[in-house]
A and B are shown apart, each in its own frame.
Chain A
Amino acid sequence: MKAQVLIRPKAGILDPQGIAVEQALPALGFGGVSNVRVGRLVELDVEDPEQLDAMCQKLLANPLIEDYEVLTSS
């Protein structure tokens, strides 16, 4: 099974990467952009999708500072 794990900085935590991108876009002529947040995408093939949550908790994300979302497709 193919899986994607989306990892985001938790709401309320300052995201300097997001701020950098948000400041860069208007300089390139793209106006009206706000609330930019930058996270990570992990793509993987898994035999047992039941293990995905534990993988996220243990390694792929740090639940103290990040939220994660698991998407699967067969």
Chain B
Amino acid sequence: MRFGVVQFPGSCDERDALAACETVDGAEAVILWHRDADLKDVDAIVVPGGFSFGDYLRVGAIAQFSPVMAAVIAFANNGGPVVGICNGFQVLCETGLLPGALLPNERRRFICRQVDVEVCSTETPFTRACTAGDVLSIPSKHQTGRYYAPEALLEQMEADGQVVFRYANDSNPNGSLNDIAGVCNTARNVVGLMPHPEHAVDARTGSDDALALFASLAQGLTHV
């Protein structure tokens, strides 16, 4: 299978994302440059972390209008699996592919630490190789990661099982509503999360708990 990893000016985690995608047997991963609307026949797309366009105006605000994003939105609306990590999550929220928004951390600090993340739904292309209730140790590093959705929307999302990841064991680092670490869209093919699974694929760097998430993306594809 082939993964595409989007790169904006200011992205900084695209190399780790490529390496994480290539932990899947037989997979290759390619960069999708933001100015290029060609998705290179990829089967799944990762929008990685970083500080796209310097976080100018509002996190993710400028990146959402890069040419590649029009293609990513079309790919997602056609059912293609898309995962946004950290800044990628912020970008996907800005495009409207994912509900809600990310606000500055409650305690005004840049957070950089390992967090416990519970898998709350396995009905997404990014979690189907997991078991509901699995707790993964994954690094978190961000200043604008406080998940917010208006009350009515949040209730609807909870009722529909759109909360895919939650901070567990009192590890909510940023004041996110309902301890939300990651969500999916109503069609469940687009997932976003603040913690960085691409940094948790090798025990030598602290944890390989996120291998199952990348392996999930390879499951269910007809042409792996």
Chain B residues whose C-beta falls within 8 Å of the C-beta of A65 in the assembled complex: 101, 103, 148
Q: How far is the CA of A18 from the CA of B149 in the complex (A)?
A: 20
CB–CB A16/B106 < 8 A? yes
- Per the CB 8 Å criterion, the residue count for chain A at the interface is 12
Closest 10 CB pairs of A and B: A16-B108, A65-B101, A16-B104, A64-B101, A20-B108, A62-B101, A62-B58, A65-B148, A16-B106, A65-B103
25 CB contacts below 8 A, A to B, read: A14-B103, A14-B106, A14-B146, A14-B175, A16-B104, A16-B105, A16-B106, A16-B107, A16-B108, A17-B104, A17-B108, A19-B108, A20-B108, A40-B57, A59-B57, A62-B58, A62-B61, A62-B94, A62-B101, A64-B100, A64-B101, A64-B149, A64-B150, A65-B101, A65-B103
State A73–B150 Cα separation when bound (angstroms): 34
Q: Does chain B have a CB within 8 A of A33?
A: no
Q: List, in ascending order, chain A residues with CB within 8 A of B146's CB.
A: 14
Q: In the docked arrangement, what's the CA distance between A35 and B24, Å?
A: 51
The answer for the CA separation of A20 and B101 in the assembled complex, in Å, is: 21
Which of A19, A59, A60 is the most central at the interface, judged by chain B CB atoms within 10 Å of its CB? Answer: A59
Measured between alpha carbons, how far is A64 from B106 in the docked complex, in Å? 18
Q: Give the docked Cα–Cα distance between A14 and B103 (Å).
A: 9
Closest to B148 in A: A65
Binding site for A on B (CB under 8 A): 57-58, 61, 65, 94, 100-101, 103-108, 146, 148-150, 175
Interface membership of A13, Cβ < 8 A: yes
Residues of chain A lying within 8 A (CB to CB) of residue B57:
40, 59-60
Chain A residues within 8 Å of B61, by CB: 59, 62
**Additional pairs, 14, CB under 8 Å, beyond known A17-B104, A17-B108, A62-B101:** A13-B148, A14-B106, A16-B105, A16-B106, A16-B107, A16-B108, A40-B57, A59-B57, A59-B61, A62-B58, A64-B100, A64-B101, A64-B150, A65-B101
Report Cα–Cα, A13/B101, bound state, in Å: 12
Bound form: Cα–Cα A65–B175 in Å: 15
Chain B residues whose C-beta falls within 8 Å of the C-beta of A17 in the assembled complex: 104, 108
Flag A3-16 by CB within 8 Å of B: 1 or 0 each: 00000000001101
**How many angstroms between the C-alpha atoms of A64 and B102 in the bound complex?**
10
Closest to A19 in B: B108
In the complex, what's the smallest C-beta–C-beta distance from A51 to chain B, in angstroms?
16
Q: Give the shortest distance, in Å, between B21 (CB) and chain A (any CB).
A: 30
Is B103 within 8 A of A13, CB to CB? Answer: yes
Chain A residues lying within 8 Å of B105, measured Cβ to Cβ, are: 16
